[in-house]
Structure 1
Amino acid sequence: MKFAALARSAALVTAVALIPATTAGMAQVDGRAGPEFAKLFATYQQIKANYVEDVDDEKLIRGAIDGMLASLDPHSAYLDGSDLERLTTMIDGNYSGLGLSVIMEDGAVKIISPFRGSPAEKAGIKAGDYITHLDGDLIYGGDLDEAVSRMRGPEGTSIRLTVFRAGRDEPFDVTVTRGVIELEPVTHKLESGNIGVITVNEFSRDVGADVFSAWQGLRKEATGRMNGLVLDLRSNPGGSLDEAVALSDLFLDKGRIVSQRGRARGETLLYDAESVFRGEIARDIPLIVLIDAGSASASEIVAGALQDHRRAVIMGERSFGKGSVQTLLPLTRDTALKLTTARYFTPAGKSVQEGGITPDIKVPQLSDPDLEKRAKFQLRESDLRGHLVNELELEDEALETDKADDPRFKLTAAELEAQGVEDFQLHYALQTLRRTSPNAVASRK
């Protein structure tokens, strides 16, 4: 892969900066590390001399690098050609496959989320599912790249997934027909009552400009004055810090959006309103931002900024809690490190690491029939092995409050389906805007 492709794929990494790994930087190794390097080399020699089978040098070196990075945090990683190619295809937004975001967790392929409108979502695959077999072949304990490669393929071809879902007694099979995955970062729709819904699926390039265009489109579609706006950031895993700043700037005309603080001098940065867009859109329009456990990173920057400035009511469920910044550090023309180099903070100085963004109004997704069962196994940053600890030392009790039952929300998924409600969180947000006076829900005067 060419270096230009590497730079292009950087746009999907949160707060990416391209910093060359110079020999001067390498020379600044602490002299006390000498004995530790000696241990590493001695281990290498013993494996080469005595392991039961001959081991390739590349396998040993890659294992040592992966081990070093895994000891830091869940988001630092070594990227080679295949990993970088995956980033590139995602930012290009066009590939054939199932439309899944997955990770390897304890040897199992775990689904972070299916992309909206993807073949996987239409087939009923859900966040938190585990894939154990592909076309009957066990993939547990295997390689993530190999599993991803097998799930991709020509449009129109099918693959059988064996899925384990929390709350079910046995795994079950789902056959999914591959399609062309055209990632659409921003979509919009005008709901009754001249209330707009703008959905941001990821923070790839030009998301700020795309949301601005979506707002203009909604105003043209409306039959009169716009009466409210829902910004849907649910299941949005994040992406570019610059685009998170741009999107926040659309709704703010002054003040801090986010601050980034790192150990190196160049990693401490401040981002303010008016740095991308002049003025603000939807100035007198009530705004609700929807988040859930899948809203991470750049999504949390936007929600935190609009919440701290009291520009929006945050509704839904506590977000993922990823408050760290990754920088892409090229090593060679086709390899790089994705390294955690800083933490970010909301305008009020709050770190979302571990705790996430707490909604102003907690609204469970009652239209999900597996809500109660899946909530027990819901994955957030604080559940990841080796995650960074919040500097404020959050108490566990503070992270458990969002599991308490709310007496207002007792309808079952079947009852909601009978009423024609397919997405309860969005339905509740729209109803809130319809029954509230325009000046009562987070509108900027």
Structure 2
Amino acid sequence: MKFKTALLMGFAFSAGIGITTSLYNANSVGSSLWAASAKETAQDEPNNAETVRLLTLFGTVMDVVHSEYVEPISDKKLINNALDGLVGNLDPHSSYMTPEQFKQMQDEISGQFGGLGLQVQADSGHIRVVGPIEGTPAARAHIMSGDVITMINHKNVADLTLDEAVRKMRGAPGTKINITILRPKTGKTMDFTITREIIHVQVVRSALYGKIGYLRLAEFDDSSDREIRVNYKKLVKMVAKTPAKTLSGLILDLRADPGGKLDQAIAVSRDFIKSGEIVSVRGRHPENNQHWHAKGTDITHGLPIVVLTNAGSASASEIVAGALKDHRRAIILGERTFGKGSVQTLIPIADQGAIRLTTARYYTPSGRSIQGRGITPDVEVKETRDKDEIYTYRESDLAHVLSNIGGKAGQDSIRSDLPADIIKAIPHEPPEKWPSFNPEKPETDFQLQQAIHLLNALSSAKAKAPK
């Protein structure tokens, strides 16, 4: 099979994460698979016999369940259940979608949907919150990353699939829903009554802090690169009207950005890196391996950059952070990222739904796979000193996690080109009386304030340096 287009990087089931379909023909996929199978089994007859035996076992079990289960059950339900397990137990990010589920996912991609604004992930039979989308009912209710949803409208979700749970959380705008969560860090169970809204995802937000520009990227959808460029131009125009006249630094905020489209991760990286490799993708078939490089563009013309990360920065976010880090184009400040280093391809199967299948691992320019490890910040700064609020849920905590192979071993290299006195002056956690974080009050965002301080210190040091 030949990759044509559209590799996914999103790791959470979430309306708002950009997803596109690969240019696969369902019949050619089937033909390719059977051809490969025939070639392999021709070389290994015992394996072929074992496959026939297991398929016979599958048919026998299906017949027994169909005839003896306590109540009538359709072949369609049995086969869909089998397909769920066939694909879903491979790794945390592969799944089979029925035609109905596939259509619902396509509806979500519009970027506007009715619900709570939660990004969730299946985890060993649980529904775990990856994070709330900024400005949504879930965010205002203070549902947090790492929370486990136990009940929806006072009914247990233990027997629900991720898709079924998400459908129950959706509803008409203005209607109320009760969500019960377990907060693992405290062991407390909490109830939230939330009013559903139409969720508008603002992909990029910008702000100006003195002479420091700020770009917040919420996810990687079709508009991410375009919005980054548009908002950067806005910052340039804004600062031109101030005494500073020009920007002295830029903050790229990728915290709690769960990822999205690979092509957008590459495009955003190319906005800041003029030359060299951005990312490489290696799959099972060598002919599908690919490398992407910069194209000689830096929209900031070499402006110092700080990238903010945390454990919710995943997938496409990690591609951007990894590329900027390896090229020493930016200082990564914050916390270690999620560690999702795999790529998914969406393969429609004629009119029978689709498979979201892990088809490759990606590698940073230095040749490292971040699968299960994440990107380590150059300057570690915790968002809070309250251990009950620290998000520690990462890829390595998931069931059936994909192994980390094929890349350079070891952790990120420690940078030696940063001014030691400035870096040492950055505290690793907020002081005891630091105010509680309020997204509407930037002064309460400790990591953001340290990024501003770092860029201002670098700018001042540069101004004082002998010409």
| 1:16-415 pair list within 5 angstroms | 17-21=22-26, 22=28, 23-28=30-35, 29=37, 30-31=40-41, 32=48, 33-192=51-210, 194-222=211-239, 223=242, 224-274=245-295, 279-333=297-351, 335-366=353-384, 371-375=386-390, 378-391=392-405, 408-409=427-428, 411-412=430-431, 414-415=433-434
Is the contact made by 1:285 and 1:438 (CA closer than 8 Å) also made in structure 2? no
CA distance in 2, matches of 1:169, 1:352: 30
CA distance in 1, matches of 2:437, 2:235: 30
> Which residue type is aligned with residue 165 of structure 1?
R
- Is 1:423 matched up with 2:445? yes
Is the contact made by 1:16 and 1:240 (CA closer than 8 Å) also made in structure 2? no
Shift of 1:166: 2.2
Question: Structure 1 residues 81-90 or 108-117, which shifts more?
Answer: 81-90
> Which residue type is aligned with residue 217 of structure 1?
K
Give SS of 2:452's match.
helix
CA distance in 1, matches of 2:328, 2:461: 13
Give SS of 1:210's match.
helix
Is the contact made by 2:132 and 2:139 (CA closer than 8 Å) also made in structure 1? yes
> Which residue type is aligned with residue 207 of structure 1?
S
Q: Deviations over 1:413-445 (max 9, x none)?
A: 64334997421111111111122227769xxxx
The alignment's TM-score, normalised by the length of structure 2, stands at 0.83
> Which residue type is aligned with residue 423 of structure 1?
D
Q: Deviations over 1:12-37 (max 9, x none)?
A: 56796332232421422243133332
Question: Structure 1 residues 11-20 or 341-350, which shifts more?
Answer: 11-20
Is the contact made by 2:343 and 2:362 (CA closer than 8 Å) also made in structure 1? yes
Are residues 96 and 24 of structure 1, via their aligned partners in 2, closer, same or farther at CA, if it must alter by over 3 Å?
closer
CA distance in 1, matches of 2:201, 2:447: 23
Question: Structure 1 residues 91-100 or 325-334, which shifts more?
Answer: 325-334
Give SS of 1:147's match.
helix
Shift of 1:407: 10
CA distance in 2, matches of 1:196, 1:146: 41
- 2:44 — aligned with what? none
> Which residue type is aligned with residue 385 of structure 1?
A
Question: Structure 1 residues 307-316 or 10-19, which shifts more?
Answer: 10-19
Are residues 412 and 351 of structure 1, via their aligned partners in 2, closer, same or farther at CA, if it must alter by over 3 Å?
same
> Which residue type is aligned with residue 162 of structure 1?
T
Is the contact made by 2:132 and 2:143 (CA closer than 8 Å) also made in structure 1? yes
How many residues were matched structurally?
421
Q: Structure 1 stretches of 5 or more lacking a match?
A: 1-6, 400-405
Are residues 10 and 428 of structure 1, via their aligned partners in 2, closer, same or farther at CA, if it must alter by over 3 Å?
closer
Q: Deviations over 1:93-132 (max 9, x none)?
A: 1112110011233333211110011111011111111222
Shift of 1:189: 0.9
CA distance in 1, matches of 2:54, 2:329: 52
Give SS of 1:293's match.
coil
Is the contact made by 1:195 and 1:228 (CA closer than 8 Å) also made in structure 2? yes
